[in-house]
Structure 1
Amino acid sequence: MNEKIHKFLNSGLLENYLIGATTAKETELVETYISKFPEVENAYNQLQHNLEIVSKYHAVEAPSSVLDKILHTIDNDTPVIQLQPELETKQKPWFKYYSIAASVVAILFACASFIFFSQNVELKKENQIVVEEIFDLRSDIEMNNKKLDNVMAQFKQLNNPETQKYIIKGNNRAKNLKTVAYINPKDKTSMIDVVSLPDLPQEQCYQIWAELNGKMVNLGILDETDRQLKSIPYTENALGLNITIEPKGGNTNASLENSVAEIELNSRE
C-alpha cells in the first residue's frame, strides 16, 4: 500500500462518507478513491459490514406522532330563520321589521358565542395535549441521541485496527452455539455479539469466563433473548475465553465439566 492510499485511509474521510458527513468535494474525492484503488474499496466494504453489525442491534422505535389536527372542523351550518312577510306590507309598521332583524342578529350572535366558547375549550385541551406530546418528543430525542452515541462508539471500536476479533463456536454439546468477541488490548475494552445459543432448560443458563493465571473470571451471563452487541468486563492478560452451562442466575465458580465452547486469546498487547 503506497503512502498516498495509507494517508487517505487514516484521514477519516471514508468513515465520514459512510455516515453522510462529507462535503460535496470530499464525497467526490472519496468516490474517486473507492473506484480507483481496490484497497480503499475493500476498506469501505469492511466499514459497511462493521456498521451493519453495530446498527442491527439498536432498533429505534419511532416517537409517538404529534396530533394530526389542533382544531376540529367547525360546522358552518348555522340555523337561519326564514321570514315570510305578508304582501300587504303597507299595513305593517316598519318598526316590526327592525324588531325581527334585531332578533335574528341576537340569535346569530348567541350561536356564534356558543361556537367560539366551545372552540376555545377544545383548543385549550388540544394545546395541553400538544405540550405533553412535545415533552415526550424531547425525551425520545434525548434517548435516541444517547443510543446513537453508543452506536457510533461501538462502530469506532469495531473499526479500530487494534481491535481483535474472535469467533467462538460450540463443541459437540452445543453445536449451534456461536458468539463473536471483540477485544482491544490498547483501549482495554471488550464487546461480545451473541449470534446464536442452543435452548437450555429453564433452570440453566450460559455463562462466559476469562482464563487468568489458572483461574476463571466471571464475565457475565449470555442470553439470546437479549441479543445485542454489548460490552463485557475487560480482563488484562487473559489467556482465553470459556463458555459453560451453569445454574439459572449464574455461578461464582466455573463448571468446566460443563464447558461448551472455548478459545485462546492472542498475547499481543
Structure 2
Amino acid sequence: MNIQAYIESGILEEYVLGTVSPQEKQEVECMSHIYPEIKEELLRTESALEQYALKHQTAPPASLKESIFAKMDFDSPQNTAETNADEGHADSKSSSENVPVPPVSEKTDDSRIITNAFDKTEIREVTPLWARLAVAASLLLALFAAWSANEINGLKESNEKVVAEMESIKSQYVDNQYLTNLYRNPEYKIVQMAGLPKSPESSVAAFWNQQTNEVLLDVRKLPEPPQGKQYQLWSIVDGKPVDIGMLDNQFSGKVLKMKNTKSGSAAFAITLEKEGGNPTPTMEEMYVMGKAV
C-alpha cells in the first residue's frame, strides 16, 4: 500500500471533522492501528485543527464586566423612611415638651384642642433590592445576547471557511483516488513525458488505453501558459504528429481527458501553441515528450 498517497488523499482531515461515512471511519481507525505513519499524521491533523479553532476564537470584550457593574448601584441607603420617621417623631416630642401651653377657659365649651401638631412623618419611596437586581440582570442578559450574536456570526464565517476548505480537500481526494486507480489499472499504458531543453523541470504522465485508444493526462508540472497561448497534446503515429486535444489552462491538480489517439502511437508530446491550437506542432515550442514503446 502507498501510505503517503493515502495520507495525502485528505481522508484523515475528513475523519477529524466527522464528515466521513461509517465505513470510511472504520477504515481510518483500522489503518491508523496498522501503520504508525498514518496514526502519527492523524494525531498531527487533530492538533492542527484544534490550534486553528483556538487561534480564531474570540474572547468577550474586556469592557463587558465594567460596563455591567457600572450600571448596578447597591450603595443606596436602606430603610430611609423608617429612620427619618423615628427621628422626626423624637424631635417633635422634644419640642412639644418645651412649648408653654396657654390656659384654657372653662367657659369656652366649643374650644378645640389640636393634638400632635408637631408630629410629622416623612415618607420616602424606596426601590426594593430585588427590583434593582432584576434591572441589572436584564441589562446583563441584553449585553450577553449582543456579544453572543457577534460570536455566532464569527463562528458562522469560520465554519463556512472550514467547509470550503474541506470541500477543496475532498475534491482533491477524489482526484487523487482516481489517479491512484489509473496507475494501478493494467488496461492503461503509462507514458512518462519528461521535460525538454525548453522546460527541463516539466513532467507529464499520459495514460493510454491501448484497447480503446483513450488518453488521460496527469500534469505534474508545466509552466503556466502566457496570455493567448495554450498547450496542445500530440501523438506520433507512423512518424507523423496527430492532434489529440488542447489542455485546459486550469490543469493543475486535475486528470485531463483528451481526444482518442490512433493505434500504433509511438510517442506523446506537448507543445505550446496559440489559443485553440494548430494543425501541426511548433517544434521549437515543445515542452515534454515520452516514448510509448
Question: TM-score, length-normalised on structure 2?
Answer: 0.51
Query: Counterparts of 1:239 and 1:222 in 2: how far apart (Å)?
Result: 24
For residue 157 of structure 1, report the CA deviation from its aligned partner: 1.7
Q: Percent identity?
A: 11
In structure 2, relative to structure 1, the CA distance for the partners of 1:98 and 1:200 (3 Å cut) is closer
Tell me, in whole angstroms, the C-alpha distance in 1 between the residues paired with 2:276 and 2:165.
34
> Is 1:210 the counterpart of 2:231 in the alignment?
no
2: CA distance, partners of 1:256 / 1:18:
36
Cα distance, 1:91 vs structure 2: 1.9
Distance in 1, matches of 2:193 and 2:218, equals 10
The correspondence for 2:269, drawn from 242, 251, 255, is 242
Name which one, 1 or 2, has greater alpha-carbon Rg. 2
Provide closer, same or farther for how the CA distance between residues 70 and 111 of structure 1 changes in structure 2, counting only shifts above 3 A: same
Match of 2:75 in 1: 81
> For structure 1, which segment, 186-195 or 69-78, has the greater mean C-alpha deviation from structure 2 after superposition?
69-78
CA deviation string 1:24-48 (max 9, x = no partner): 69966x89xxxxxxxxxxxxxxxxx
1:158 to 177, 180, 183: 183
Aligned-residue offset at 1:122 = 4.2
Partner of 2:6: 19
Alpha-carbon shift at residue 192 of structure 1 (Å): 2.6
Provide the aligned length of Structure 1 versus Structure 2.
215
- Amino acid of the residue matched to residue 87 of structure 2? Q
Q: Indicate the residue corresponding to 2:194 in structure 1.
A: 169
Counterparts of 1:25 and 1:259 in 2: how far apart (Å)?
A: 46
Q: Give runs of aligned pairs for residues 43-192 of structure 1, distance below 5 A.
A: 68=57, 75=65, 77=69, 78-83=72-77, 90-91=86-87, 99-100=125-126, 102-124=127-149, 126-127=151-152, 130=155, 134=159, 137-138=162-163, 140-172=165-197, 174=198, 176=200, 178-185=202-209, 188-192=214-218
1:162-196 CA-partner distances (Å, limit 9, x unpaired): 54333323445x15253231314268452233435
Which SS does the other structure have where 1:19 is aligned? Answer: helix
Separation in 1, partners of 2:225, 2:32:
51
1:233 maps to: 258
Give 5+ residue unaligned stretches, structure 2: 8-26, 37-48, 90-120
TM-score by length of 1: 0.55
Q: 1:246 to 1:69 in 2, by over 3 A?
A: closer
How far off is 1:153 after superposition?
Answer: 1.5
Q: CA RMSD in A?
A: 4.8
Cα distance change of structure 1 residues 70 and 97 upon mapping to structure 2, 3 Å threshold: farther
Matching residue's letter, 1:113: S
The residue identity in structure 1 corresponding to 2:266 is L
Q: Structure 1 residues 157 and 120 mapped into 2: Cα distance closer, same or farther (>3 Å)?
A: same
Q: Residue 221 of structure 1 contacts residue 250 of structure 1 at CA under 8 Å; is this kept in 2?
A: no
Residue 239 of structure 1 aligns to a residue whose secondary structure is strand
